[in-house]
Amino acid sequence: MREITEGFTLEDDPLWYKDAIIYELHVRAFYDSNDDGIGDFAGLTQKLDYLQDLGITAVWLLPFYPSPLRDDGYDIADYTAVHPSYGTVNDFRAFLREAHRRSIRVIPELVLNHTSDQHAWFQRARRARPGSPARKFYVWNDTTEKYKEARIIFKDFETSNWTWDPFANQYYWHRFYHHQPDLNFESADVRRSLLAVVNFWLGMGVDGMRLDAVPYLYERDGTNCENLPETHQFLKNLRKKVDERFRHRMLLAEANQWPEDAIAYFGSGDECHMAFHFPVMPRMFMALRMEDRFPIIDILAQTPPIPETCQWALFLRNHDELTLEMVTDEERDYMYRAYAHDPQMRVNLGIRRRLASLLGKDWNRIELMNALLFSLPGTPVLYYGDEIAMGDNIYLGDRNSVRTPMQWSADRNAGFSKASPHRLYLPIVIDPESHYEAFNVEAQQNNPHSMLWWMKRLIAMRKRYKAFGRGTLEFLYPENHRVLAFIRRYQDEIILVIANLSRFVQYAGLDLSAFRGTSPVELFGRAQLPPIGDAPYFLTLGPHAFYWFSKARHLSKEFPLVSIRPTLVSPRFRSNTRKKTRKPTRCRCRSLPVSAWNKSGNRHQMPYWRT
């Protein structure tokens, strides 16, 4: 066990992130403890019991540092403090201690690529002498002609990656918003300063860090300024320093790239431990809309193997738009037509909607997509509120449509805050289809058939099997392209996953002959199906249904591989004036012919009954 904050312990597993269920949240959106309309660390600490009950094992915190909040905290003004609205560093320590006491790990965000233009480093640099160490903290030029090959990421808001600074009398470089100048990683002072930031938070006891926008750290003329070798060398040095000083900590790379580029951020297992698999997410939505497994199989076929100690992070939705950067133009047009018919739903190259809204509040589709998220290779990341099917507000600016306050109850302000509704950092969702009075934690906790309880069961089931987080992947190819089927294997665990991507009933014949003599056991209900033979194993699936099966040894007494002619005993009730008596009546039965697909000698026949 690893000693952590003030004597508490966590499981001493260097690969803990492979089995994790990560819950992403913004402190200001979760719970307001002091009634100022803004969530804070004291409020988040109060809600840790809810997260423990949900079953998640790690919390990813969006930036909580001092900031002008022009980009929701990604414009950092001080790396080693807490925004006053969220509390103090001591409040963070208390939260960290209580999270660890509940065996919940904490993964804060670290924005490496840029700072706010209000950061002391930039204020000093813009007034420093050109060529001085202070000036070299950022990237400057006299014209905008440098790095012309680099794309503009936020095309809806920016027309150039260069912005003129009247104090410096030069242009400064930025890959994102103009108020977020990029740090100059050619400067040794910058690298040392950021390493000190990493040491500060890891030394406090956090379990990992999400590294934002890592592909853009370095610039070089004649390139697109992404994924440069210097970036990977910096990450190798960072990983080495972290491993030398800290035990079992994790670095998660945010690299919105094609698989062959994103995999480079693992290095040879000596860079980041984890990286987001951005391209698989939109293709899951495409496969669902097209009712065809091809988009999922195709993108995973393009994904190279990763080092043994590394792991992909998967998600359906997060705090940003559903990004469509890593798709073709035709695929992007299709996604817009399918999921964002209203232009108000679009931002940059993506769709700013929550999961439940994207799927039209169709519970079968929501369950199916979550089941795929939790069963495909990688660690699932759940966005706050998606466990209760929270809605969005597409009329809020930028990406705030999916960043509204957590909905705790049907009380005022959805139980998030006792402040005046006008003081809330963003308004509560009151759309009739997603109203907080219907979609809130309290209401769903009291209903064992709710989405929240379903998510609890899904999380608990995944945690029972390491094959989901660590196992290999083997696709099956039934003739029906509307059915996705694959096998996850780890040590003695074998899990069969089968999903119907169609809105109609479908069937699939699976080649499971390698498991002949065993019987599939459905994991949730523990129902044992008939044993597998040499012939294709046929299953029928309801609309958007999914199954997770493990295998159990065939018991001949329960499922004999012979022709059967059972006798049914059905109760019949006869009454008289004194009492009711139950008298069994024997019924005759016949057997149906052997199924056409069952060509083996094992005649497993299903009876029908005639009284």
User: Phi and psi of 191, rounded to 5°?
Assistant: -65, -40
Between CA 350 and CA 333 the distance in angstroms is 11
Provide the 3-class DSSP secondary structure of residue 423.
helix
Active site residue 212: yes
Q: Where are the alpha helices (DSSP H) in 376-512?
A: 441-445, 451-464, 467-470
The number of CA neighbours under 13 Å toward the Cβ of 304 is: 13
- Strand 546-553 and strand 9-10: the pairing is unpaired
Where do we find the tokens 């497994």?
A: 293
Could you tell me if 523 and 576 are in contact, meaning their C-beta atoms sit under 8 angstroms apart? no
Alpha-carbon radius of gyration of the chain? 28
Between CA 544 and CA 505 the distance in angstroms is 8
- The candidate with the shortest Cα–Cα distance to 331, out of 351, 304, 360, 347, is 351
Between CA 63 and CA 83 the distance in angstroms is 9
Q: Which residues contact 15 (CB under 8 A, 6 or more apart)?
A: 309, 311, 470
CA distances 22 to 5, 95, 100, 353, 497, Å, are 20, 17, 14, 20, 22
Provide the 3-class DSSP secondary structure of residue 84.
helix
| Strand ranges inside 420-558, DSSP E | 472-476, 483-490, 493-500, 506-510, 518-522, 537-541, 546-553
Identify residue 492 by its one-letter amino acid code. Answer: D
Where do we find the tokens 């697909």?
A: 597
- The candidate with the shortest Cα–Cα distance to 368, out of 586, 548, 560, 243, is 548
Between CA 127 and CA 166 the distance in angstroms is 10
Report the DSSP beta bridge partners of residue 237. none
CA distances 413 to 35, 49, 428, 429, 439, Å, are 11, 21, 6, 9, 13
Could you tell me if 127 and 167 are in contact, meaning their C-beta atoms sit under 8 angstroms apart? yes
Give the count of beta carbons closer than 10 Å to the beta carbon of residue 394. Answer: 21
Q: Give the active site residue among 24, 109, 117, 254.
A: 254
Active site residue 254: yes
- Strand 9-10 and strand 2-3: the pairing is antiparallel
- The candidate with the shortest Cα–Cα distance to 153, out of 177, 129, 188, is 177
Q: Give the active site residue among 24, 109, 207, 212.
A: 212
The residues annotated with a catalytic role in the active site are: 212, 254
